[in-house]
Amino acid sequence: MKKLFTLLSAMTLMVCISLCFSVSAQEDDWYLGSDHGCKEAIIDNVRYRLISDKKYGEHYVVVDFIHDESLAETTTKINIVDEIEGVEVLGIKTNYDDSPDLPSPAYTNKYPSVKKVVIPDNVKYIGFYAFNCFPSIEKLYLPEDLISMGEGAFIGMESLKSITIPSGIRSIYCRAFEDCKSLTTVVLGEKVEYISERAFCHCESLTTINLPDSLKGIYDNAFSGTALTKVVIPEKAKLMEGSFSNCKAIKKIVFENTGSAKDDYVSIDYNFWGSSAVEGVYIKTIPTKGILIEFSTLDTMPLLKDIYFAGSEELWDKLTHELDRAELDERGITVHFYYRHSHSFKQSGKVTCTKGGTYKYTCECGDSYSYKVAKNTDGHKFGAWKVTRKSTYTVAGEKQRKCSLCGKVEKKDIAVIKLQTVLNISYERTLNSITISWKPVEGANGYRVYWKDSPTGKYQKIASLKNKTTYTFKDLDKCSKYYFKIQPYHKDSKGNVAFANISQVFGVFTIATAPANLKAVSTEPGTVKLTWESSGDDSHYFVHHGTSKQEVIEDEEFLFIHVGKKESYTFKKLESGKTYYFKVSITDETVDGVKVSNIAEVTVK
């Protein structure tokens, strides 16, 4: 997945190697052209571009709508082919227009007649703003194996009525469906974790969406201005500012969890500002620190009359400000307690195995019941398990339960607490060092760091850190890739050690230098040979040339050729007696920005 994402997301920056489809020029349904070295094919009025990257040795075809001037104004349906001459179509190209005279991305409605697009099953990537030129599409079926949809992929698709998100999608990127004004139903895949900023903003017809239990975050204005009538915030989901603002049809808000970026608070705040139809708020999970009520938001909810709280009145008073209750009463809003209440009974009375007896069970809410036990009861009447020794990360705990009739005690071990693995490793890099950092793992008081300097080598333990979450590798080669993984551990005072699972492996490049000492020599008519010094082991070079020095200096996209890892290149068939200018650049995941060589000048023999 990383390989595909890297190739496709970077294709507006990279120049593709000039490859050939083996198609005869006599075939009427083919047109082959070249744009910055990319081979193109037009089939049934749809433009396809061949993408190649020697770094991986693989070729892909992407659909190129942004540069597509071939679709007829009367086209109503587009069938995207799944392969061309054995090369798979794997993506829909990012729809950016990065010309300095035009806005980027390009919001266009240039194909208003297109009602349907058929996407083949092997497409795995849909680029940024890929479909912003098709406002009239009514039906769209996404491939089940789709793994990424870029920012604004379907923005402004005003006629789309429903969409099902495949199970492989983890994040709905920002503005993905913004301004899809006819969209009424969204079915999210069971593994979606994040819904980013403005993802469904201004989908004014959206009444139905399932928020799966996998959801972890709903970001700013994600559903602002939609027509949802009920919102159920999943247990793990955190809300950011304005997530459901100006949703004027919402009547019921349900917090399965706290609904806050902080687990220890419930917030009825700007996330729901302007949702004027809200009648009831249901708080199913009791926070540990507080309930925050933003009354300026309540000013925009004139119909809100009831708040249902899972705990007691005493607990509500502890979690809210002392003036909140009075303010709610003044507004005519009633707080209902013990909503979704689970009774906590206390036992009284005495019963023995030989005499029997009666127990009475009473809850703090006032509910009670009695249970009569007959004499000589068969079997034991065990109570609830109670922890007598807590588990640690290295030693198992113990729990017991007791027969309420005869006093017999049963014991069971409780498993040790399992350490979690390290997630979200970040890094900083220089020419010859890489510093990795990670968030502390709860319970861990040490970390083992492993590394290797090639994809096929064996990992070596390079360090064992105590209560540190950062490590710097020094004296590395520039523009070289290194691989790391981390294993948390807990060591107790008696020397017992417990290890977590090792983290996922990730690779990082050190930074490359700019190409140096570029030289241009013309020893034969029409020929110029360029040579330069290496930027690093994994550098990919782009050669720029032209007859104007200023043109070559300023224009990053003028007449340049991707030469891979070679550190020389020969031009042929240049005009004899004419002066040419050259430079060499690199841009890659090994590079911070674009790095450029000196300008070489030569007059061709």
Q: Does 155 lie in the same domain as 62?
A: yes
Q: Which two tokens stand for residue 142?
A: 């996404």
**Model pLDDT, residue 14:** 31
**Model pLDDT, residue 470:** 93
Looking at 456, 482, 509, the residue that finishes a domain is: 509
Q: How far is CA 351 from the centre of its chain?
A: 59
Q: Which two tokens stand for residue 6?
A: 């890297």
Higher pLDDT among residues 97 and 525, named by residue: 525
In 93-143, DSSP assigns E strands to: 116-118, 125-126, 139-140
Structural domains of the chain, count? 4
Q: Which of 51-55, 76-80, 92-96 ranks highest by mean pLDDT?
A: 76-80
Q: Show Cβ contacts of residue 351 under 8 Å, excluding neighbours closer than 6 positions.
A: 357, 358, 359, 373, 381, 404, 405
DSSP result, 171-184? EE-TTTTTT-TT--
Q: Which two tokens stand for residue 527?
A: 């020929």
Higher pLDDT among residues 95 and 160, named by residue: 160
Q: Does 529 lie in the same domain as 435?
A: no
Q: Show Cβ contacts of residue 106 under 8 Å, excluding neighbours closer than 6 positions.
A: 66, 95, 96, 97, 129, 132, 133
pLDDT, tens digit, for every residue of 265-288? 778 888 899 999 999 998 877 777
Q: Which two tokens stand for residue 82?
A: 């799944």
pLDDT, tens digit, for every residue of 198-253? 999 999 999 988 888 889 899 999 999 999 998 888 877 888 889 999 999 999 98
**Model pLDDT, residue 448:** 93
Q: Does 533 lie in the same domain as 480?
A: no
Which of helix, strand or coil describes residue 136?
Answer: coil
Looking at 126, 160, 194, the residue that finishes a domain is: 160
Local confidence band at 30 (pLDDT 50, 70, 90 cut-offs): very low
pLDDT, tens digit, for every residue of 424-435? 888 888 888 999
Mean pLDDT of the chain: 80
Q: Does residue 521 carry a pLDDT above 90?
A: yes
Q: Does 45 fall in a domain?
A: yes
Q: Does 539 lie in the same domain as 401?
A: no
Q: Does 303 fall in a domain?
A: no
Mean pLDDT within 504-512: 85
Q: Which residues pair with 475 in a beta bridge?
A: none
Local confidence band at 472 (pLDDT 50, 70, 90 cut-offs): very high
- Contact yes or no for 484/506 (Cβ under 8 A): yes
Q: Does 546 lie in the same domain as 497?
A: no
Type of residue at 116: K
Core vs surface per residue 351-381: b (16+ CB within 10 A) or e? bebeeeeebebbeeeeeeeeeebeeebeebb
Q: Does 371 fall in a domain?
A: no
**Model pLDDT, residue 99:** 41
- Contact yes or no for 539/514 (Cβ under 8 A): no
Q: Does 454 lie in the same domain as 389?
A: no
Q: Does 583 lie in the same domain as 499?
A: no
**Model pLDDT, residue 375:** 66
Mean pLDDT within 134-151: 87
Mean pLDDT within 402-407: 73
Q: Does 578 fall in a domain?
A: yes
Strands laid side by side in the 386-389 sheet: 386-389, 397-402, 409-414
CATH of the domain at 40: 3.80.10
**Model pLDDT, residue 539:** 80
Q: Does 404 lie in the same domain as 438?
A: no
**Model pLDDT, residue 406:** 63
Mean pLDDT within 470-490: 90
Higher pLDDT among residues 587 and 507, named by residue: 507
CA–CA distance, 201 with 265 (Å, rounded to integer):
26
Q: Does 139 lie in the same domain as 65?
A: yes
Type of residue at 37: G
Higher pLDDT among residues 79 and 371, named by residue: 79
Mean pLDDT within 153-161: 90
- Contact yes or no for 171/191 (Cβ under 8 A): no
Looking at 480, 509, 538, the residue that finishes a domain is: 509
Which of helix, strand or coil describes residue 250?
Answer: coil
Q: Does 401 fall in a domain?
A: yes
Count Cα atoms within 13 angstroms, Cβ side, for 548.
6
**Model pLDDT, residue 381:** 73
CA–CA distance, 119 with 101 (Å, rounded to integer):
32
Core vs surface per residue 112-126: b (16+ CB within 10 A) or e? eebeebebeeebbbb
Q: Does 238 fall in a domain?
A: no
Q: Does residue 382 carry a pLDDT above 50?
A: yes
Q: Does 22 fall in a domain?
A: yes
Q: Does 292 fall in a domain?
A: no
Type of residue at 565: K
CA of 592: how far to CAs of 37, 39, 476, 596, in Å? 24, 28, 17, 12
CA–CA distance, 124 with 9 (Å, rounded to integer):
12
Residue ranges making up the domain that contains 411 = 385-415
Q: Does residue 254 carry a pLDDT above 60?
A: yes
CA–CA distance, 580 with 547 (Å, rounded to integer):
5
Mean pLDDT within 244-264: 74
Mean pLDDT within 88-102: 65
**Model pLDDT, residue 103:** 44
Mean pLDDT within 488-504: 90
Q: Does 524 lie in the same domain as 585?
A: yes
Q: Does 450 lie in the same domain as 478?
A: yes
**Model pLDDT, residue 111:** 76
**Model pLDDT, residue 59:** 67
Q: Does residue 70 carry a pLDDT above 80?
A: no
Mean pLDDT within 78-104: 71
Global pTM reads: 0.50
CATH of the domain at 589: 2.60.40.10
Q: Does 528 lie in the same domain as 501?
A: no
Centre a 10 Å sphere on the Cβ of residue 96 and count the other Cβ atoms it contains: 20
